[in-house]
Amino acid sequence: MNFTSIRLITADFERLTSFYEQLFGQPLTHYTPTFAELRTTGATLAISHTSTLGPFGGEQIASPAANRSAIIEFCVADVDADYQRLTELLSTAVVQAPTTMPWGNRSLLFRDPDGNLVNFFTPVTPEAQQRLAKKAA
């Protein structure tokens, strides 16, 4: 089994997709006016409007902007450089500025416009770098 994607359900599709496009400095692939994806080597971040929930049983199955249990994580080459690049975009969204965590990752934690926690991290200790290398193999 392979974990392939996570989908964020939003009531404001344009706002959320625009945020992620600015965050990553590239456009998401828009398959419909209410569904877009950002593909990475490890997995895909999908974003869709609540109106796309019809085939799954209707809009009542997911509540946009209500996540309080998951963190969407992206391994980046240099979390400090990304923090500097994104200062304006994340001005009121930063939960934790870049900090070296006990498990060896340097981490920037912030919220997207819907309140979802997002973590940009860079492995900085040899142990953390080795763990990441094992996952990639």
Query: How is residue 2 annotated by DSSP?
Result: -
Residue whose structure tokens are 């900085």: 124
Does one domain contain both 92 and 133? yes
- Taking 90 as the threshold, does the pLDDT of residue 96 lie above it? yes
Q: Which string of DSSP letters, residue by residue, matches 17-81?
A: HHHHHHHHTSPPEEEETTEEEEE-SS-EEEEEEGGGGGGGT-GGG--TT---S-EEEEE-S-HHH
What is the extent of the structural domain holding 90? Answer: 71-137
pTM listed for this prediction? 0.91
| Domain match, 77 and 137 both | yes
- Classify residue 12 as exposed, middle or buried by CB count within 10 Å of its CB (0-12, 13-18, 19+): middle
Examine the domain organization and report whether 51 and 79 are in the same domain: no
Q: What is the tens place of the pLDDT at every residue in 2-51?
A: 889 999 999 999 999 999 999 999 999 999 999 999 999 889 999 999 99
Q: Two tokens at 10?
A: 């939003």
